Structure 1
Amino acid sequence: MATPQKTSLPIDNNLTIQHLVNQHNEPHTTHYDRTEATIHHNEQTTNVLSKRKLEDQTEHTNDQQSPFKTTLTPIFSTSDSHLDVPFWKKIMSNRPFFEPKEIGNFSLLNRGDTKECFEDDRYLRKYIYPLKTVDVKFDCTVGESTFELQGQNKNIDSLLWWLLRHKNEYYQNGRFTFDFLSWRGVLRLIMFTLFEKLSDYLLAIVRYKNSYFLCEFSTDLQVKQESDMTAKHRSYCYWGHKFEDYVTKEIIESSPSPMKQYTGVFYSVLDCYRLLYAAEMDCVIENKSNNDKNKVVQEHVELKICSGNSLADLPFNYNRKYAKWWLQSYLAGIKTMIIGLRDDNGFVNKIAPLEISKMENATHTWNAACFLNFFLNFAQFVEKNVVEDYNVNEKQVFLFYFSPSEQRITVQKSSDEKFHFLPDWFTSAFD
């Protein structure tokens, strides 16, 4: 029998932004004309002028105006300095096109240390069970007593490291060929603002070389919430890491190693915005290709653990916790989750696959359109406020703060060095 040839994840490192943009349903060029956007709301039509500077058409080989037209959701703010969070049903219609493509990857031990980044798949895990419901007996408490829960580094150094290695692909004519750059977690954070009632967040944003760079920073409330975390809650976090070990390794270590991460780099067009972002990926499943039985095709899956005896026990129809699960997978183009169903003592007794489309179809308390449209609101709000390019000498950033009690995002300028998240080694490469 011939040995199957492994086919890596469908990443085309030679795939340019232009190629990806051309896959959009609407024909358009790499660069967009966002001068006029027609907005429909409450049967009123308002013309919104984008503050984003249009590129000089003489700089480009294609000097014709972009044919790409868009209908944007209105900004729900009463001033340039704040954005009020709308009721989700007001922005639940007219789902924008969004289809993420994985354009690269890297492995890392620490987001904040580029010396521990490797542009390969050495930390990519493989799911070792069949893609069906399986009865198991995983003791996820093993090693818990020696495990120290560590918060995730939020800086974007490793993503900037990857971007610098691909400078020629994503930096042309003195500007980047995307509009927003961040971690996937930041995109999810922004989109889930619609339903966030307990926790705040703080994003530092700069416009650099005509693109917006986003970095999350911890708030006092977040630090307090983490320090006040109960022992049971810490156990839940550990059980999730341990579950990943059980389903992705033949030999189970006493304590998992969550610092080792495989990261996918994604690109997608959301309405008129081009997003470039990175996401930690749990594992892949391997299947034989339908076209060539000697090839193995890899597909990303997301791993989750929760209390219950079957998927029927999970309240997808009203619990918005599952909306976070859905967003996390959706933003990375993941179609399937593997759910570990546990008891209250940390034993996983069953694993079951779940298509994320079924999760969305089962709910009546959120939908994809509301999340995507709110991000468009946020993007317009950023464009309104961050209109000048980042000065590497002044290093002024814009802080966007969400208050859950006020249900409002405010913005202010800051020169505080603790928010200087674009390192000199990165900006000096574009002088």
Structure 2
Amino acid sequence: MTTFKIQPLARFAGASTSIRRPREITHFSYDDDRKLYPLSDRSLQYYYPPFIDAPGEPGHGRPPIDLSNGFETFKKHDDSIDEHLDSLLETLMAHEQEEGQRVKSDVVTWRGIMTKIMTAPFDLFNEFELNATCFQGTVFIEENHASKAADIKSQRDNSRSHNRGGPSQEMMQYWGYKFESLALLSKPWAEATREEIENRDAKPVDSEAQYCSIVTTGIGGTSMILGGEVDAVMGAKPDNPNDPIPWVELKTAQQPVTQKDDVKYERKLLKFWAQSFLLGVPKIIVGFRSPDGHLLKLMEHETQKIPSMVKRQGQGTWDGNTCINFAAAMLDFIKSTVQGDGVWRIQRRQKDGFIEAFQVDGVDPKSIVTPAFRAHREQIVAKEVAAMLGNQMKQ
């Protein structure tokens, strides 16, 4: 077993290490039945603000929006299913077959996993259990599903005991999805009918359908391929694939009233920022709600400005540069640890000042990196070697 110490944080302080701007290389969609469509934007959504009863908002004068509406018909994704990295790898494989070459990187994983790593220095209750394996020099990382399922059950049980008389954990999760449905259109605003725009509150809420972006990025000396859901685009995606995409991340939070509420919101901003930073989402729109789930107002944050805002106006609960430098060092640790055959467990327990990594038995590396993706990459590498030898023969 090897360990990576989180404390003391001072060694990660100072200016942030080098960062490579996330650039989308491909994407995929899930439909309402969770069917995967590699290279498809069929589930791409477009942002258009909801009608809120607030001065200056398009819905001023309308009845307040109750985010609980439609909870009885909510179609929630079954999170007991272990989806591994399958959709990410299948789409990456389709992209590489289309382009005729592989996308090289040191690490392949989900954005959510990198968010857990990046926020670890300042989130004492952030615990995770990951499985990692190395294939052709690249480390592939996924969540250990059994641990994730146990955490979800524990959170629900704790919510029921702490929130007696108040909204359940399931209801509060629904409020987030409901806010998204109120703020999204399935087509650009110019193509949407008035009925489609104004009747979004009546539309059933569904968390099965998703548009997921796959980006190349890098922190410090580590190059990465990350996949993650994006909520919407503001306007349209640019024609030039090298141009930044005006993505929008949608979040809900209880309206802060006291200083304690302000600190709680500042801590939420850590995860909001990290999630969007990693995929290159430039804007976060927060729907503030009342304790009983009524939408009160909207607030926009520019992702890149959040760390300086927290540093200037906040309570000092976290520091963005420290998070970035910590992530760079942690990625170096993972690359030096996860080598050769087998599967490694990378875990952090609540309030622990360290992260452990150790090799485990009983987990098949092919459950992380699928046989189809392995065969595809082996074929591409064989072609690369043949081409290299051919070029040497010509010289």
* Equivalent runs, 1:107-256 vs 2, <5 Å: 107-109=29-31, 116-129=36-49, 134=57, 136=59, 137-147=64-74, 149-150=76-77, 152=79, 155-167=84-96, 177-218=104-145, 219=147, 222-228=151-157, 229-230=159-160, 231-249=167-185, 250=197, 251-252=199-200, 253-256=202-205
Q: Which runs of 5+ in 1 are unaligned?
A: 1-79, 290-296, 391-395
Q: Provide the C-alpha distance between the structure 2 equivalents of 1:135 and 1:300, rounded to a whole number of angstroms.
A: 22
SS at match of 1:100: strand
SS at match of 1:376: helix
Equivalence for 2:357: 411
Equivalence for 1:91: 12
1:105 and 2:31 matched: no
In the superposition, the TM-score normalised over structure 2's length comes to 0.75
Higher normalized contact order (CA 8 Å, seq sep 6+, divided by chain length):
2
Asked if the contact 2:41–2:211 (Cα under 8 Å) also holds between the matched residues in 1, the reply is yes
Asked if the contact 1:176–1:211 (Cα under 8 Å) also holds between the matched residues in 2, the reply is no
Q: Provide the C-alpha distance between the structure 2 equivalents of 1:426 and 1:162, rounded to a whole number of angstroms.
A: 10
How many aligned residue pairs are there? 335
Cα offset, 1:176, TM superposition: 5.7
Equivalence for 2:383: none
* Equivalent runs, 1:334-349 vs 2, <5 Å: 334-349=281-296
Cα offset, 1:199, TM superposition: 4.2
Q: What amino acid does structure 1 have at the position aligned with 2:28?
A: F
Which stretch has the larger CA shift, 83-92 or 268-277?
83-92
Equivalence for 1:375: 327
Cα offset, 1:317, TM superposition: 9.3
SS at match of 1:186: helix
Q: What amino acid does structure 2 have at the position aligned with 1:352?
A: M
SS at match of 2:170: helix
Q: Provide the C-alpha distance between the structure 2 equivalents of 1:275 and 1:165, rounded to a whole number of angstroms.
A: 18
Q: Provide the C-alpha distance between the structure 2 equivalents of 1:315 and 1:89, rounded to a whole number of angstroms.
A: 25
Q: Provide the C-alpha distance between the structure 1 equivalents of 2:142 and 2:170, rounded to a whole number of angstroms.
A: 26
1:359 corresponds, among 306, 320, 325, to 306
1:401 and 2:347 matched: yes
* Equivalent runs, 1:72-91 vs 2, <5 Å: 81-91=2-12
Equivalence for 1:32: none
Cα offset, 1:287, TM superposition: 7.1
Q: What amino acid does structure 2 have at the position aligned with 1:210?
A: G
Q: Provide the C-alpha distance between the structure 2 equivalents of 1:135 and 1:360, rounded to a whole number of angstroms.
A: 30
Asked if the contact 1:102–1:265 (Cα under 8 Å) also holds between the matched residues in 2, the reply is yes
Query: Could you say if the C-alpha distance between residues 171 and 315 of structure 1 is closer, same or farther in structure 2, counting changes exceeding 3 Å?
Result: farther
Cα offset, 1:403, TM superposition: 1.7
